[in-house]
Amino acid sequence: MIEARQFTHRDDGTDEATWLLAPGWDGVPRLDLSAIVKGCSRVVVVAPHPDDETLALGATLADLSARNVDVTVVFATHGGSGPRSTPRRTEGDRAIATLGSEMSAVWCDLPDGGLDGAAPDLAESLGKLIDADTVVFAPVECDGHSDHEAAARVAAGVARENDAVLLHYPIWLWHWATPADVDWSRLRTLSPSLAALRSKASAIDCYTSQLTARDDRPIVGPAVLRRAHRVFETVLIPQDPVLAARVVGEVDGGRDRSDVAEPFDAMLAGGEEDPWHLDDFAYERRRLSLVLACLGRERYQRVLEVGCATGQLSEELTGRADTVVAIDASERALAVARRRTDAVRWICGAAPRDLPDETFDAIILSEIGYFLDGPDLTATLRAVRRNLTARGEIVLAHWRGPTDGIPLDGRAVHEQAAALLDLPLRARYEDVDLIVEVWGEPVSVYREYRGAS
Per-residue pLDDT tens for 183-231? 999 999 999 999 999 999 999 999 999 999 988 899 999 999 999 999 9
- pLDDT at residue 160 is higher than 90: yes
Give the pLDDT score at 323: 98
pLDDT confidence of residue 397: 98
Q: Please give the average per-residue pLDDT across 373-391, as a whole number.
A: 98
Confidence of residue 121 (pLDDT cuts 50, 70, 90): very high
75 Rama sector, left if φ>0, alpha if ψ -120 to 50, beta otherwise: beta
Task: Answer whether the bond into residue 356 is a cis peptide, omega within 30°.
Answer: no
What pLDDT does 410 receive? 98
Mean pLDDT: which of 262-266, 275-279, 313-317 is highest?
A: 313-317
Q: CA 152: distance to chain centroid? A: 24
Cα–Cα distance list, 195 to 40, 60, 63, 289, 357 (Å): 24, 11, 8, 32, 33
Q: Is the pLDDT of residue 403 over 60?
A: yes
Say what the pLDDT of residue 404 is. Answer: 94
Provide mean pLDDT across the span 335-361. 97
Element containing residue 304 per DSSP (H, E): strand 300-306
Integer Cα distance of 281 and 156 in angstroms: 58
Angle, alpha carbons 159-161-167 (nearest 5°)? 15
Name the average pLDDT for the chain.
Answer: 95
pLDDT at 446: 84
Instruction: Please state the rounded mean pLDDT for residues 351-358.
Output: 97
pLDDT recorded at residue 3? 82
State how far the Cα of 443 lies from the Cα of 95, in Å rounded to an integer.
42
Percent residues over pLDDT 90 in the chain = 87
Set out the domains of the chain in order of their start, with CATH numbers: 16-251 (3.40.50.10320), 257-450 (3.40.50.150)
pLDDT of residue 343: 98
- Asked whether residue 151 carries a pLDDT value surpassing 70, the answer given is yes
How many whole angstroms separate alpha carbon 291 and alpha carbon 293? 5
pLDDT of residue 194: 98
pLDDT exceeds 80 at position 237: yes
Distance of CA 10 to the CA centre of its chain: 24
Backbone torsions φ then ψ of 342, nearest 5 degrees: -105, 15
Asked if 203 and 192 touch (Cβ cutoff 8 Å), the reply is no
CA–CA dist 318, 341 (Å, integer): 9
Q: What is the pLDDT of residues 61-83, one digit of tens each?
A: 999 999 999 999 999 998 766 56
Binned at pLDDT 50, 70 and 90, residue 310 comes out as: very high
pTM (2 d.p.): 0.96
pLDDT at residue 49 tops 60: yes
What is the per-residue pLDDT for 452? 57
Output the CA torsion sign for 137, 142, 147, 150. positive
Residue 356 has pLDDT above 60, yes or no: yes
Q: How many other C-beta atoms lie within 10 A of the C-beta of residue 339?
A: 11
Report the pLDDT value the prediction gives residue 451, as an integer from 0 to 100: 72
pLDDT of 186? 98
Residues 6+ apart with CB under 8 A from 329: 257, 260, 261, 264, 348, 349, 350
Mean pLDDT of 308-332: 97
